[in-house]
């Protein structure tokens, strides 16, 4: 089934200002059948009464349950359930199978929707449970996720799902500290200083090989723009400026940011292939010593496997993270979508017919939101896959066996704490990522008018902004660019509609 195009395609266009990473993990075992037995003690006393069957349907993104699934029996024992995970390989496969289930009035009890479009469709068809009367029964979930657990899923003021928190890793500058030291330079604290360092790395032979073979900054053009624009206090999307909801493409700060992008490129110190780079390309350039500044998130540079690559290439390399930087008008380095979610966990409307089962579903959600249940779905079995030492969770050498447990994280997880446990050596960077100052955007709350072609409008914006960056369009023609965007591509009607929706939702003045 061909699904509707989502607004996130628009938000993730040329000027996307945050890097989202989905929860990952999995087993190389191709079996998706849950195991009926496992070692270890139950995490809690089993509930009394009859066993309650509960089915959860989700997309595994290629991950499956291993033949020795030790999570299911632990949850079943603690909650007196018979839990079944029905996992599809892709979102398209998920939608196809879910539609067939809906046609046969046989929806699973819990549905994890991979996107907002499908969630909205099923909610509007009356197939999902309105959680408004049941919010108090999901207190532990709210404590884990926060106040937005319901509001991000509201349709007409009613939530038909709980929302999990997305994993957001911000693209920030990383600088070769060893090159700075060789040239007698300080770690840059402003965008202007960063550009001056870029010039020095290009012209002053920072690697000392006597060749003119280095340049300053490498990345993707979209990623570099996603840094420069927030540092000018603007983003290509809906955000609040001076108390009013606006769209960044029309703001003076956007013109200033575009001019700064051109200024950077005109120095000749930016990777000449930045407009065509992909992650693998610019990682190689940075790791091999061709560039001294790279804009990317921490997962791609200081995780153990990445660190090994650049340390083997140059044992003296010392990459430092710039999680704080001042721009011409702001110190925000990225954006965070206020309505972004890691998924929509909905309950089938039909589950309401069986009160005991519905209560058990709530019990399941709460159980995996705190204490033993949360530890189980994050790290595996206590004293097998993890230990608690001096009040701190520490993984054992058997922790890789628990790579699949993310499939059971029905209410999500406390991301920073989880990652700090998974990657203790990277904890300083994880914590720094959490503290990056950002602009909050509201793009996910806006729907596309039927007469608006988001793909064409995005393509036009990409092409025209690229021309401004490289001087093929003069900045004086920016207003003409906006006029064509509004008339030919009906962008103004989309923005006006979005502002109206955000006002109706109480998010805009």
Residue 416 burial by Cβ neighbours in a 10 Å radius (0-12, 13-18, 19+): middle
- Which secondary structure element, helix H or strand E, spans residue 464, and what is its range? helix 454-469
> CA 363 to CA 376: how far, in whole Å?
15
Q: For residue 25, what is the DSSP state?
A: -
Name the token pair of 436.
Answer: 């990056």
> What one-character-per-residue DSSP string does 331-348 give?
---EEEETT--SEEEEEB
> CA 413 to CA 167: how far, in whole Å?
10
For residues 377-387, b (16+ Cβ closer than 10 Å) or e, as one string? bbbbbbebbbe
CB 233 within 8 A of CB 327: yes
> CA 37 to CA 417: how far, in whole Å?
30
> CA 435 to CA 323: how far, in whole Å?
8
> CA 256 to CA 234: how far, in whole Å?
10
Q: Could you tell me whether strands 343-347 and 110-113 are parallel, antiparallel, or unpaired per DSSP bridges?
A: antiparallel
Q: For residue 488, what is the DSSP state?
A: T
pLDDT, position 48: 54
pLDDT, position 346: 98
Residue with tokens 């589950």: 351
pLDDT, position 244: 97
Provide the Cα torsion 303, 306, 307, 309; round to 10°: 160
CB 344 within 8 A of CB 112: yes
pLDDT, position 52: 97
CB 455 within 8 A of CB 9: yes
pTM of the entire predicted model? 0.84
CATH topology of domain 18-168+340-438: D-Maltodextrin-Binding Protein; domain 2 (3.40.190)
Helices (H), 342-388: 355-367, 371-379
pLDDT, position 447: 87
CATH topology of domain 169-337: D-Maltodextrin-Binding Protein; domain 2 (3.40.190)
Closest alpha carbon to 301 in 430, 437, 174:
174
Count of Cβ atoms closer than 10 Å to residue 409 Cβ:
21
Q: Over its length of 509 residues, how does the chain's per-residue pLDDT go in tens digits?
A: 433 333 333 333 333 333 333 333 333 333 333 333 333 333 344 445 799 999 999 999 988 999 999 999 999 999 999 999 999 999 999 999 999 999 999 999 999 998 888 999 999 999 999 999 999 999 999 999 998 999 999 988 899 999 998 889 999 999 999 999 999 999 999 999 999 999 999 999 999 999 999 999 999 999 999 999 999 999 999 999 999 999 999 999 999 999 999 999 999 999 999 999 999 999 999 999 999 999 999 999 999 999 999 999 999 999 999 999 999 999 999 999 998 898 999 999 999 999 999 999 999 999 999 999 999 999 999 999 999 999 999 999 999 999 999 999 999 999 999 999 999 999 999 999 999 999 999 998 898 898 899 999 999 999 999 999 999 999 999 999 999 999 999 999 999 999 999 999 889 88
pLDDT, position 167: 85
> CA 15 to CA 31: how far, in whole Å?
40
Closest alpha carbon to 403 in 135, 66, 42, 136:
66
Name the token pair of 163.
Answer: 């929302």
Angular region, 454: left φ>0, alpha ψ -120 to 50, beta rest: alpha
CA 88 and chain centroid, separation = 21
Domains 18-168+340-438 and 169-337 equal at CATH topology level: yes
Residues 6+ apart with CB under 8 A from 433: 169, 170, 172, 297, 298, 323, 416
Domain boundaries, the chain: 18-168+340-438, 169-337
Closest alpha carbon to 346 in 164, 161, 139:
161
Name the token pair of 1.
Answer: 């089934």
> CA 22 to CA 412: how far, in whole Å?
11
CB 266 within 8 A of CB 258: no
């Amino acid at each position: 089934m061909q699904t509707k195009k989502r607004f996130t395609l628009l938000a993730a266009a040329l000027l996307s200002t945050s890097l989202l990473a989905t929860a990952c993990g999995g087993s190389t075992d191709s079996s998706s059948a849950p195991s009926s037995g496992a070692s270890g003690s139950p995490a809690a006393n089993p509930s009394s009464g009859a066993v309650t069957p509960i089915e959860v349907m989700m997309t595994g993104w290629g991950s499956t349950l291993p033949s020795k699934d030790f999570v299911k029996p632990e949850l079943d024992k603690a909650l007196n359930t018979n839990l079944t995970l029905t996992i599809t390989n892709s979102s398209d496969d998920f939608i196809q199978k879910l539609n067939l289930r809906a046609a046969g009035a046989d929806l699973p009890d819990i549905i994890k929707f991979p996107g907002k479009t499908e969630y909205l469709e099923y909610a509007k068809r009356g197939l999902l449970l309105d959680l408004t009367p049941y919010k108090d029964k999901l207190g532990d979930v709210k404590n884990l996720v926060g106040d937005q657990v319901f509001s991000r899923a509201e349709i007409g003021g009613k939530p038909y799902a709980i929302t999990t928190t997305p994993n957001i890793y911000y693209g920030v500058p990383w600088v070769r500290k060893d090159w700075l030291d060789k040239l007698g330079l300080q770690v840059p604290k402003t965008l202007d200083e960063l550009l001056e360092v870029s010039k020095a790395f290009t012209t002053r032979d920072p690697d000392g090989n006597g060749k003119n073979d280095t340049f300053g900054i490498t990345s993707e053009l979209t990623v570099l723009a996603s840094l420069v624009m927030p540092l000018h206090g603007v983003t290509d999307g809906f955000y609040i400026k001076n108390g009013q909801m606006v769209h960044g493409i029309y703001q003076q700060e956007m013109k200033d940011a575009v001019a700064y992008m051109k200024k950077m490129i005109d120095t000749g110190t930016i990777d000449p292939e930045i407009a065509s780079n992909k992650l693998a390309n610019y990682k190689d350039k940075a790791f091999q010593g061709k560039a001294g500044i790279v804009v990317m998130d921490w997962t791609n540079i200081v995780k153990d496997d990445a660190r090994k690559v650049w340390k083997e290439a140059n044992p003296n390399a010392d990459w430092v993270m710039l999680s704080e930087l001042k721009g011409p008008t702001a110190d925000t380095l990225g954006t965070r979508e206020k309505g972004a979610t890691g998924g929509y966990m909905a309950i089938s409307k039909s589950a309401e017919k069986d009160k005991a089962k519905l209560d058990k579903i709530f019990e399941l959600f709460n159980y995996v939101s705190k204490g033993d249940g949360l530890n189980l779905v994050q790290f595996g079995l206590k004293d097998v896959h993890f230990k608690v030492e001096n009040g701190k969770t520490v993984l054992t050498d058997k922790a890789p066996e628990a790579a699949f447990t993310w499939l059971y994280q029905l209410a999500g997880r406390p991301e920073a704490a989880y990652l700090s446990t998974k990657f203790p050596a990277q904890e300083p960077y994880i914590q720094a990522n959490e503290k990056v100052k950002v602009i909050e955007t509201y793009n996910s709350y806006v729907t596309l008018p039927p007469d608006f072609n988001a793909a064409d409008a995005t393509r036009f914006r990409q092409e025209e902004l690229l021309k401004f960056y490289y001087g093929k369009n003069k900045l004086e023609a920016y207003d003409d660019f906006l006029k064509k965007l509004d008339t030919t591509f009906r962008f103004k009607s989309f923005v006006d509609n979005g502002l109206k929706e955000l006002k109706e939702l109480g998010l805009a003045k």
